């Protein structure tokens, strides 16, 4: 409540600062804005910014950090009755103390009477801290407002370059926004690296990258099945690679050929129909592709292979027939096939852009030599576009490697080291999902393995993206 | 059609298509291309109006005129390059050796092997110098073996005056050459398929004066074997390289005739204004 009032007051003060600043600047020019360096509004904005923004930032920081600071002060001293409690109960105790102080709902924990007394004492302590903290914040905000005003207001006169100063603030805002993006990314990378380091301290990197046994459960008891735990991720990498390969076998040719059709052969009418349709395909959520794979494509493929297997039964290829007869719904082929369909619009729209950027002069040159359209496409357009198309393929690969939903639903969960597309395989992304869904503690190798996998995945896609973007960029430079 | 009709007839003819006669070609060289009643439309907009002209064998004919006057459009009619522009429509007849190039029986692909073209901006393919020249012979099956292809490449480069400069780096990319060399490479590429006509669309507009001089020299040599049509913005260039000149204005062929005559004694006042620099 008080915070809201503070915000309102701050807004009001800024408005006043704007009006006062504007008026003073105008007065210094004798009321004629033509004689001023900047428009009158800039002078007002300049003062208002200095009055409002630093105090607002302080308020924001204090709201973000206030709870933590209080918590730290509160837990610094433990009442003696707490010694009978476990560490989790203690944590709950302090949280409840803060909740009680702020009038929030308490947890469902039941406290002994003496603990309850201590809780109320702590709640009082918390109230004291938070009051002091809030008062301190408001006082400091007041100082900032005053300082901002005194810093700017006396300097206002008609020659003051208020416009440039205000634009400096805008620069700062733009910079801050871009820094947010960079810092967030950096933060994600650092947390990945940090948690991975914790993981690699219990599982050696070589075992992780090259081991062939993956069973990340850690048993509750020593005599449980699979309690040993195995963190050899090679089967996952193989599975990811296999699915990606199948996906690219579908998406590569289909996407490229449709791009060639769209950019070279399709008339304006066909293009107007096909291009938006492909873009709709790109907008389908991957989870929809996932159940399309699991419920439609999977059964169709299984039935096809099963009846194909029936043809071989009793013949010289009896073994093959038997094998095909027991193929399951979930297999690498289904996941890869559907993922390939998902990637078609991606490949085709990138390739289409690249083919379109091949200069018309090259096509004209080829036509003028008496080449047909097909010869021109094969011998001039495609070779010229090849580096860019390779870049598009690499980008598609990096998406295929990171794709999660389709493989989760259609590839299976068994970590097998195989290159047989009819087997169920599992991928890096699927394992991250299964490791982290549900209630988890973040201190066992099981959950930390997810970070190890995440880091590996991140490194691979990062390298792929860098290489791909380099290639695409280099190719673009050639014709601009 | 009579060869020596008064040229003023063609101006009147513009309003009465079908009746018109072409400007005369002097006795001596025979006529390679005979165009009549050529109208070109880009969508709704008409770009050429009733153009009629005779173009002589083994000589250079230049098309001059201000920007947007239709000279390039007309050039592109002669090898049906306008077919590649979907909204473009051409009516009228262009006879090459008595055969209408717009006739349904003519395959534009085959026609373009007979009528080579060089563009304003050098457009070598992103391939090696050798592959650039070998491109046409390969797709038309002109060489039966590697030796024969080598021979075609060498002779084409020689005729384009480029051989001495590139013979030691045939396998390097054609795009690495200088602008003037690229343009000569493109000319060599066009020659390699053995065309009868070479169309040049402002071939020197992207080149410096020295490279331009080389191309002009080359055009003068090539005239002995080919019928050359060149579109140019430079009247000096038209005067230097061509034997006959046609002046286009606002989509109409205003006047055509022997180059020296046209530059010293133009019949139409618009031609006079243009070549004396009063507009354009």
- Summarised one tens digit per residue, pLDDT across range B130-174 is 999 999 999 988 888 899 999 999 999 988 888 999 989 999 888
- Summarised one tens digit per residue, pLDDT across range B195-225 is 999 999 988 888 888 888 888 988 998 888 8
Percent of chain A past pLDDT 70, that is, above it, reads 95
- Residue B244 pLDDT > 70, yes or no? yes
Average pLDDT, stretch A90-104?
81
Closest alpha carbon to A72 in A100, A108, A98, A35: A98
**CB distance A268–B86 less than 8 Å?**
yes
Helix (H, G, I), strand (E, B) or coil at B128: strand
Q: Which residues of B touch A383 (CB under 8 A)?
A: 125-127
Whether residue A124 sits in one domain with residue A271 = no
Report if residue A376 sits inside a domain.
yes
Percent of chain B past pLDDT 70, that is, above it, reads 89
pLDDT of residue B156: 92
Report residue A229's pLDDT band, with 50, 70 and 90 as the boundaries.
Answer: low
Report if residue A38 sits inside a domain.
yes
Which region among A374-378, A407-411, A458-462 has the lowest average model confidence (pLDDT)? A407-411
Report residue A441's pLDDT band, with 50, 70 and 90 as the boundaries.
Answer: low
Length of chain A: 480
Whether residue A220 sits in one domain with residue A156 = no
pLDDT of residue A169: 92
Report residue A442's pLDDT band, with 50, 70 and 90 as the boundaries.
Answer: low
**CB distance B135–A267 less than 8 Å?**
no
Report residue B26's pLDDT band, with 50, 70 and 90 as the boundaries.
Answer: low
| Residue-range domains of chain B with CATH | 8-275 (3.40.50.300)
C-alpha torsion A296→A298→A299→A305, nearest 10: 140
Spatial contact of A420 and A328, defined as CB atoms under 8 Å apart: no
Whether residue A248 sits in one domain with residue A134 = no
In chain B, which residue ranges form alpha helices assigned H by DSSP? Answer: 8-13, 71-78, 108-114, 129-139, 146-159, 163-166, 179-191, 209-222, 235-241, 259-264, 269-275
Q: Which residues of B touch A387 (CB under 8 A)?
A: none
Average pLDDT, stretch A380-409?
87
Average pLDDT, stretch A279-293?
87
Around Cβ A328, how many Cβ atoms within 10 Å?
Answer: 15
pLDDT of residue B29: 64
Percent of chain A past pLDDT 90, that is, above it, reads 23
Write down which residue in A139, A160, A181 finishes a domain. Answer: A160
Report if residue A167 sits inside a domain.
no
Average pLDDT, stretch B223-230?
91
Report residue A172's pLDDT band, with 50, 70 and 90 as the boundaries.
Answer: very high
pLDDT of residue A116: 80
Length of chain B: 280
Q: What is the 3-state secondary structure (H, E, C) of A254-309?
A: HHHHHHHHHHHHCCHHHHHHHHHHHHHHHHCCHHHHHHHHHHHHHHHHHHHHHHHH
pLDDT of residue B168: 92
How far is A210 from A215, CA to CA, in rounded Å? 14
Whether residue A234 sits in one domain with residue A378 = yes
How far are the Cα atoms of A58, A174, B252 from residue A177, in angstroms, in the given order?
A: 18, 5, 59
Determine the distance in angstroms separating the CA of A260 from the nearest CA of chain B, rounded to an integer: 16
How far does CA A126 lie from the centroid of its chain?
Answer: 37
- Residue A477 pLDDT > 70, yes or no? no
- Residue A170 pLDDT > 90, yes or no? yes
Report residue B9's pLDDT band, with 50, 70 and 90 as the boundaries.
Answer: very low
Quote the domain boundaries for residue A403: 214-479
Average pLDDT, stretch A421-441?
80
**CB distance A369–B135 less than 8 Å?**
yes
Residue to substitute from B126, B132, B138, B192, interface A, most A β-carbons within 10 A: B126
Report residue A102's pLDDT band, with 50, 70 and 90 as the boundaries.
Answer: confident
Whether residue A232 sits in one domain with residue A110 = no
pLDDT of residue A217: 65
- Please enumerate in sequence order all residues whose Cβ is within 8 A of that of A388, keeping only pairs 6 or more positions apart, or say none: A351, A354, A357, A471, A472, A475, A476
Which region among A161-175, A202-216, A290-304 has the lowest average model confidence (pLDDT)? A202-216
pLDDT of residue A36: 85
Which region among A100-109, A143-152, A279-288, A343-352 has the lowest average model confidence (pLDDT)? A100-109
Average pLDDT, stretch A46-68?
89
Nearest residue, CB atoms, A365 vs list B123, B139, B193: B123
Whether residue A475 sits in one domain with residue A331 = yes
Whether residue A229 sits in one domain with residue A145 = no
Q: What is the mean pLDDT of chain A?
A: 85
Report if residue A205 sits inside a domain.
no
Write down which residue in A144, A160, A176 finishes a domain. Answer: A160
pLDDT of residue A480: 46
Nearest residue, CB atoms, A367 vs list B84, B110, B193: B84
pLDDT of residue B157: 92
Q: Which residues of A touch B139 (CB under 8 A)?
A: 369-371, 375, 379
Phi, psi of A417 (to 5 degrees): -90, 90
How far is B130 from B163, CA to CA, in rounded Å? 11
Report if residue A171 sits inside a domain.
no
Q: What is the mean pLDDT of chain B?
A: 84
Whether residue A17 sits in one domain with residue A125 = yes
Q: Which residues of B touch A361 (CB under 8 A)?
A: 119, 121, 123
**CB distance A371–B193 less than 8 Å?**
no
Q: Which residues of B touch A478 (CB under 8 A)?
A: 126
- CATH number, domain with residue A461: 1.10.3720.10
Report if residue A104 sits inside a domain.
yes
Average pLDDT, stretch B18-26?
48
**CA geometry: angle at B191 spanning B201 and A382, to 5°?**
75
pLDDT of residue A228: 55
- Summarised one tens digit per residue, pLDDT across range A311-368 is 888 778 888 888 888 888 888 888 899 999 999 999 998 899 889 888 888 999 999 8
Report residue B19's pLDDT band, with 50, 70 and 90 as the boundaries.
Answer: very low
Whether residue A238 sits in one domain with residue A129 = no
How far is A118 from A81, CA to CA, in rounded Å? 7
Whether residue A154 sits in one domain with residue A84 = yes
- Summarised one tens digit per residue, pLDDT across range A256-271 is 999 999 998 888 888 8
End-to-end CA distance of chain B: give it in Å, rounded.
33
- Summarised one tens digit per residue, pLDDT across range B84-127 is 888 888 999 898 888 888 888 888 888 898 899 999 888 999 88
Whether residue A155 sits in one domain with residue A252 = no
Average pLDDT, stretch A7-14?
93
pLDDT of residue A171: 94
Determine the distance in angstroms separating the CA of A424 from the nearest CA of chain B, rounded to an integer: 45
pLDDT of residue B6: 43
- Residue B27 pLDDT > 80, yes or no? no
Whether residue A241 sits in one domain with residue A146 = no
pLDDT of residue A307: 85
Spatial contact of A464 and A397, defined as CB atoms under 8 Å apart: yes
Write down which residue in A115, A130, A160 finishes a domain. Answer: A160
Report if residue A185 sits inside a domain.
no
- Residue B14 pLDDT > 70, yes or no? no
| Number of structural domains chain A divides into | 2
Residue to substitute from B80, B112, B156, interface A, most A β-carbons within 10 A: B112
How far are the Cα atoms of B33, B71, B77, B96, B104 from residue B93, in angstroms, in the given order?
A: 10, 17, 10, 10, 12
């Amino acid at each position: 409540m008080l915070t809201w009032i503070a915000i309102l007051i701050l807004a009001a003060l800024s408005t006043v600062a704007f009006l006062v600043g504007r008026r003073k600047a105008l007065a210094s020019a004798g009321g004629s804005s033509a004689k001023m360096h900047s428009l009158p509004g800039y002078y007002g904005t300049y003062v208002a910014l200095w009055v409002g923004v630093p105090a607002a930032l302080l308020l924001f920081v204090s709201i973000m950090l206030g709870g933590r600071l209080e918590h730290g002060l509160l837990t610094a001293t433990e009442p003696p009755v707490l010694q009978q409690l476990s560490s989790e109960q203690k944590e709950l105790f302090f949280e409840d103390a803060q909740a009680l102080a702020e009038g929030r709902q308490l947890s469902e924990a039941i406290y002994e009477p003496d603990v309850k007394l201590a809780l109320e004492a702590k709640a009082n302590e918390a109230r004291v801290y938070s009051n002091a903290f809030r008062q301190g914040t408001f006082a400091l905000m007041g100082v900032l407002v005053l300082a901002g005003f005194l810093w700017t207001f006396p300097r206002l006169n008609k020659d003051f370059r208020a416009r440039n100063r205000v634009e400096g603030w805008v620069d700062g805002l733009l910079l801050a926004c871009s820094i947010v993006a960079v810092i967030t990314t950096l933060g994600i990378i650092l947390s990945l690296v940090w948690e991975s380091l914790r993981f690699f301290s219990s599982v050696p990197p070589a075992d992780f990258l090259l081991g062939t046994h993956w069973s990340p459960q850690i048993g509750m008891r020593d005599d449980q099945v699979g309690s040993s735990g195995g963190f050899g991720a090679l089967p996952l990498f193989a599975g990811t690679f296999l699915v990606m390969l199948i996906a690219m076998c579908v998406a590569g040719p289909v996407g490229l050929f449709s791009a060639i059709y769209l950019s070279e052969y399709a008339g304006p009418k066909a293009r107007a129909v096909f291009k938006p349709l492909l873009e709709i395909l790109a907008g389908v959520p991957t989870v929809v592709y996932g159940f399309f794979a699991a419920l439609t494509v999977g059964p169709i493929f299984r039935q096809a292979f099963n009846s194909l297997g029936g043809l071989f039964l009793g013949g010289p290829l009896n073994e093959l027939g038997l094998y095909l007869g027991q193929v399951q719904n979930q297999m690498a082929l289904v996941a890869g096939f559907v993922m390939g369909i998902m990637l078609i619009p991606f490949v085709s729209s990138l390739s289409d852009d690249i083919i379109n950027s091949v200069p018309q002069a090259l096509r004209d040159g080829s036509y003028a030599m008496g080449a047909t359209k097909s010869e021109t496409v094969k011998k001039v357009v495609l070779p010229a576009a090849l580096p860019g198309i390779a870049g598009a393929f690499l980008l598609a690969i990096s998406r295929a490697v990171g794709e999660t939903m389709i493989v989760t639903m259609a590839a299976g969960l068994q970590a097998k080291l195989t290159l047989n597309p009819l087997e169920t395989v599992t991928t890096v992304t699927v394992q991250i999902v299964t490791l982290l869904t549900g209630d988890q503690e973040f201190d066992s190798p099981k959950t930390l393995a997810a970070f190890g996998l995440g880091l590996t995945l991140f490194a691979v896609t990062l390298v792929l993206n860098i290489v791909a973007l380099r290639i695409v960029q280099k190719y673009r430079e050639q014709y601009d | 059609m009579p060869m020596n009709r008064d040229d003023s007839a063609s101006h009147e003819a513009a309003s009465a298509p079908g009746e018109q006669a072409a400007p005369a070609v002097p006795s001596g060289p025979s006529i390679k291309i005979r165009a009549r009643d050529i109208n070109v439309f880009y969508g709704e907009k008409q770009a050429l109006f009733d153009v009629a002209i005779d173009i002589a064998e083994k000589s250079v004919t230049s098309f001059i005129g201000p920007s947007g006057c239709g000279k390039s459009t007309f050039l592109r009619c002669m090898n049906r390059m306008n077919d590649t522009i979907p909204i473009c429509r051409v009516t009228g007849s262009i006879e090459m050796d008595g055969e209408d190039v717009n006739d349904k029986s003519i395959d534009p692909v085959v026609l373009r092997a007979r009528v080579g073209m060089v563009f304003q901006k050098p457009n070598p393919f992103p391939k090696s110098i050798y592959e650039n020249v070998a491109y046409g012979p390969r797709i038309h099956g002109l060489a039966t073996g590697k030796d024969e292809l080598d021979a075609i490449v060498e002779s084409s480069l020689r005729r384009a005056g480029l051989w001495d400069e590139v013979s030691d780096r045939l396998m390097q990319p054609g795009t690495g050459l200088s602008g003037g060399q690229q343009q000569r490479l493109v000319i060599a590429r066009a020659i390699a398929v053995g065309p009868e006509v070479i169309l040049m669309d402002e071939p020197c507009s992207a080149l410096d004066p020295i490279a331009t001089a080389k191309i002009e020299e080359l055009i003068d040599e090539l005239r002995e074997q080919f019928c050359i049509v060149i579109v140019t913005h430079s009247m000096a260039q038209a005067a230097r390289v061509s034997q006959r000149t046609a002046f286009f204005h606002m989509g109409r062929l205003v006047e055509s005739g022997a180059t020296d005559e046209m530059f010293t004694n133009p019949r139409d006042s618009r031609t006079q204004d243009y070549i004396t620099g009063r507009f354009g």
